[in-house]
Structure 1
Amino acid sequence: MSQDQIDMLKRALAREKAARKQAEKILEDKAAELYEAKQKLEKSYLELEALLDKTDSQLQGVFENIVDAYVIIDLQGDILKMNEAAVDMLGFDDAKENFNLMKLAAPKETKRVADSFRSLLEKGSITDFFLNIITRKNESKLVHVNASVIYDKGIPVAAQGIVRDITIAKQNEEQLIESENRLSTLILNLDSGVLLEDENRKIVLTNKKFCELFGIPISPELMVGQDCSNAAEQSKTLFVDAEKFISKINETLKNRKTVLGDELKMLDGKILERDYIPIFKNNIYKGHLWSYRDVTLKRNYHQSLEAQRQKYSNIIANMNLGLVEADNDGKILMINQSFSEMSGYSEEELIGKTGKELFLTEENAEVIETKDVKRHKGESHSYEIKVKNKSNEDRHWLISGAPNYNLNGELVGAIGVHLDITEIKKLELQKEKLLVKLEKSNDELQEYAHIVSHDLKSPLRGIDALVNWIKEDNKGKLDAVSIQNFELIETTLEKMEQLISDILLYSSIGSEAPEKEPVDLNDVVSELKTILFVPEHISINVLNKLPIVKGDKTKLKQLFQNLISNGVKFNDKERGIIEIDVLEQKSFYQFSIKDNGVGIEKEYHDKIFKIFHSLNTSKESTGIGLSIVKKIIDLYKGEIWIDSEAGNGTTFYFTLKK
């Protein structure tokens, strides 16, 4: 290295040494300044603490007795002190928690809080400041703040504030305003005329209906504040008895007692019902409320209803079917003469009593309870039940029951039409015994069935015609309940007639020896597809070619028709499928008709082929269809059984000999 390079290096080292000394001197000066600033800051805090200690005895009483949240903060917003109310409201764990109060402001409130804090320091106080905060427990609250600056010798050193939680109060205020608006809208649109007057008879509130009833051609809003002292005199010409109208108002206002249901007749034929309600506050009279209702239709309706009631009572009393009306608890409200004769009890003995307690054994009572559950769901049903009449005789009744509704569509009970089928039941039992013993008399049974069918259908048709005549004769006069009751009667009559027809069909099967002629079952199914109503979403498929069997084509058609119809009626799927198949055995054909419908619970598999056992309450279902199927198969000495689960469809299997 040359001497010049060595000299240059020495000069660089000297400069670096001088720069280091200068930097150290600057650091020493800054350290001294920081120490001095620290001393001043500590002195300021000591002075602030001294000030707080100086006033602590005064503030302590405030802290102990103030109900609202009370907080003291320094000029940066850090909490210096707070009472227990503030701890609870702001969600702190204790009063000594170190936290900056500004951080409680909701995010959208940050700028507004900063501006208000600057205003507080400039003006010395803020009042009625509303703020949304998020507490330490993450609860949203609306608070009301009044705050002021704490001074020491004229210098601001801290701030204090009272914070009130007005969240619930604000919600209540909004709900009250909303309720008042709804109430005002409701009153303005009421179907009753309303007039609210103060103690000086000045209008406080009225509505559209009041203006309409009294022919006032201005809106209700414009009537507020009007003097009603002479209103009665001006309106008296609208009423039949004008002087009574005036005197009654004067008397009512003088007595200041509640009056309900005053009836007023107007010259135009209207009938008004008036209520008067005085208003007192702390036993001081503050005004009154008039309420007017147009009851013209109601009065005319009651008069018409009474006349119609007498007419219908005579019709019901002379029906050949037992009619019973009951409430939701099963207590009898009304019966007709036919039911009295069927049961052996008088009307006085039955009204208010429960039918199942009078007529049924414990076993049969369970049947009624099951039907009641379905009725409460709005379902109609027909069923057979064994009862005991007043003479303790066993009788069999066929009951068609339907729910009964009031004008509001509320379920209020049930209406039941009763047919005493004891003789038919005895005939059925005798017929079954005759089938077992092969000792029946076909001609006599067929003749008897036709006589029974004719005798039962005749009164049903007569009742149906009579009901139609009553409806036509009183068109436009009947209320909704009466029309609904007539529709229930018509539906019940229709179902009863279908039931009687099915009974006749059932009884006629087997009365003659089955025909033995070749029947192509493919033709039978094809014909049924053309005559049966099959919705578009249901398809009927024949999986294999059906055989030609020997038998009566009509009865075989009835067999397939009932089973296919069963699959159509009780299919609840968006795409219904009915599949017909056959399996050839050595001496017989085994057929199957499968659907993907509602299915049948296993507990009912042995019951569905018995007469009157229906698992569905539709008007098309009488509980005889599958009994007819069973009887036809028995006639051909075949067998029938099912494979089914609720919700998973049903497959009917049956056999026919070759």
Structure 2
Amino acid sequence: MSQDKIDILTRALAREKAARKEAEKILEAKSSELYEVNKKLSESNTELETLLNKTDSQLQGVFENIIDSYVIIDLFGNILKMNDAAVGLLDFDDAKEDYNLLDIVDPRDAELVQNSFKKLFKEGAITDFEVNIITKRNKRFLAHINASIIYDGDIAVAAQGIVRDITMEKEAAGKLIQSEKRLEDLLKNLDSGILVEDENRKMVLINDAFSNFFLKSAKANIEKGDDCSLAGEKNKVLFKDPERFVKSVELAVKNKVLVRNEEFQTLDGRIFERDFVPIFNGEEYKGHMWSYKDVTLQRNYSKSLEFQKQKYQNIIANMNLGMAELDLNDNILLVNQSFADMTGYTKEELIGAKGKDILPVKDDVKLVNKKVKERKKGRTDSYELRIKNKAGEIRYWLVSGAPNYNLNGEVIGSIGVNFDITDFKNLQLQKENLLNKLESSNDSLQEYAHIVSHDLKSPLRSINALVSWIKADNKEKLDETSLQNFDLIDTTLEKMEQLISDILEYSSVGFDDSEKADVNLNDLVNGLIDILYVPEHVSINILEPLPSIYGVKTKLQQLFQNLISNAIKFIDKEKGLIDISVKDLGIYYQFSIKDNGIGIEKKFHDKIFKVFHSLNKRKDSTGIGLSIVQKIVELHNGEIWLESEPTKGTTFYFTISKDINK
């Protein structure tokens, strides 16, 4: 660098240094005046305003609250002077530290600061300027600055400003805005209609539900800031009692006290509950909120519920079943009239008493205690109970008990529905006695039948023997007619003996539980076919495997034997066919035995199962076989019927239950 340039730079620095010293002298000269101004303004803590005398431009821009951080800089941003508050805020060591304010500005705000300096020099002051600061100790904060130029005459010599940390204020303001936004969103999305008014009844907020409830119906519109004082008049046309609606609005606004659950009904049948909520800031009234809730469904449901409750109370009160509600200690809380009538006590005598102490007979108290414990565990069941009424009579009840719950699902007692079955029990006892007598009578009858059959067969055998002796002794003397008559006597005696045997068999058809077992019908029927006499021209076909069932083997054998033998007996075709089939119909099996025999006319279908009814007068037919078959089927909880057509054949159908008390 040339010496000339060095000399020029040295002189410039000297002038700048001289100017800085001159500025310091001026500031020191005015410091006493600034102190007096600061003393007068220290209590206000409000925004900084220019309070300096217009004739002294160097003091222009001193702010109201000098307690804030106060800084004076030269026109290049170098700090000339600052108070203790500024030292602390900016993390300097002392007030005389040589530092440039531009060095503590966040680099991202550099362009913003340059533009603010241009505005400051042009307009002489800037207010409410915000910039991000990073102190030399790396503390970051958002600074709020109000600044002005210091003049010496008409020449700008420096700048002064108030710097405040507004970081927390900004955060708080942001949070407040967020809270207000959330609150506004919440109110707007409530099912209740919301209208918020300020202290002058200007609209602050209105949600969609309010608009849907009233404004659309009234074809009105209201926007933020609109006067709501006439809203009552606009909306009253919607209500059944418009004057009451208007007066209630005026009274609520006048009294400024909380009003809850006022109910109004609209002309279209809707029911609203309204709340008036005054809003205060301390003692200062700031407005109020109207909240409208459509409770039409709730009210209608309540009315319906009350109607249903009354209906069921009437049913319970008048039904023939005795109902009682008890607590956890078996104390009677409620009974209907039927219960009182069943016990002989009045309702007043029953309510409050312990049910187990006054009703059950002594031997059944243990059962009641057991059931009470089960109710507490949530168990429901039915059982028989003997009770003694007020008159001392023993009555039989069928009790259906269930736990009683509160709204939290907790067991709070029990409810019992009681049915007096005394008459039924008496009939049941009579039935049991009759059955015992009938069983005894049947045993006697069966024994009698055996005796009679034996006593009847003995003379028949004697007659048969005598006839045989007469024929043998007089063989040469008897003519052909006499011998034929003796043959008729033999045939009649045989038929008489068969008839007696069939009657005995029919009377003895029955079985007890000890005879029941699983029977393989496939083996049983195939075994029968092997031992029965089957003519060569007759074929017996089992179309599908027969099942195993639970029953009495001998009776089932007798059943199939009679039907197969019957089919063989009445086949008149050159080629006889007998088909045995079965269908699984769920709870029972359906069997069929089909033949191509002579058939049976329809008018005889019901008669053939009657005792002694035979359509063909054959010497080997007594008319009892199908009656025995029917009895065996019925003993296996089944039915028997037939389909037949003369000359074409007959099909016997019968069902057997899969479970006869297995």
TM-score range, shorter chain: 0.3 to 0.5
TM (normalized to structure 2)?
A: 0.36
Q: Greater CA radius of gyration, 1 or 2? A: 2
TM-score, normalized by length of structure 1?
0.36
